[in-house]
């Protein structure tokens, strides 16, 4: 027995196959196993302070020597400018992992020794990190944003 399929039936079969492909793609992408984290929970509120961040980054770019970020055996070393008194530097270092919000953390910049801050390697997983260091020295605010690979 020979089955004959005319062009109308072929189009319907092609459409059904295409719709099945699209639906299974949507089902897999919105599965509960996949997390879809926002960069920030308060995205719109953060946008209001964006100009302040730009001003802080401009202040940092005017320094003779900016921060130095370096991968060392013990972890991640942040070196502040040598012309700044280390005891007067305060702030926060934010580490954001784009692939997983659960790995994000922050470290306070307090009581520095010789203008260096060491982030222990136990907090860091190898891969891409977005680093934002927000610090204050003599009532002047600075910020550095960089993407690093650990």
Q: What is the pLDDT of residues 8-56, one digit of tens each?
A: 999 999 999 999 999 998 888 776 565 555 566 677 777 778 888 899 9
Q: What is the pLDDT of residues 132-148, one digit of tens each?
A: 999 898 889 999 999 88
Domain 43-149 architecture: Sandwich (2.60)
pTM of the full predicted structure? 0.67
Percent of the residues in the chain that have a pLDDT greater than 90, as a whole number: 24
Give the model's pLDDT for residue 85: 84
CA 52 remoteness from chain centre: 19
Residue with tokens 């002047």: 140
What is the distance between the alpha carbons of residues 59 and 140, in angstroms, rounded to a whole number? 8
Q: How far apart are CA 89 and CA 138, in angstroms?
A: 8
In degrees and rounded to multiples of 5, residue 108 shows phi and psi of: -75, 145
């Amino acid at each position: 027995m020979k089955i004959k399929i005319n062009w109308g039936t072929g189009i319907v079969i092609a459409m059904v196959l295409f719709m099945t492909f699209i639906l299974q793609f949507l089902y897999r992408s919105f599965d509960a196993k996949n997390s879809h984290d926002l960069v920030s929970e308060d995205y719109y509120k953060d946008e209001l302070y964006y100009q302040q961040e730009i001003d802080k980054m401009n202040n940092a770019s005017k320094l003779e020597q900016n921060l130095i970020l370096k991968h060392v055996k013990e972890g991640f070393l942040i070196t502040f400018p040598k012309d700044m008194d280390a005891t007067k530097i305060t702030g926060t270092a934010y580490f954001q992992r784009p692939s997983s919000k659960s790995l994000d953390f922050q470290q306070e910049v307090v009581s520095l020794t010789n203008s260096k801050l060491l982030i222990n390697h136990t907090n860091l997983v190898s891969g891409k990190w977005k680093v934002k260091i927000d610090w204050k020295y003599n009532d002047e605010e600075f910020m550095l944003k960089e993407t690093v690979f650990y």
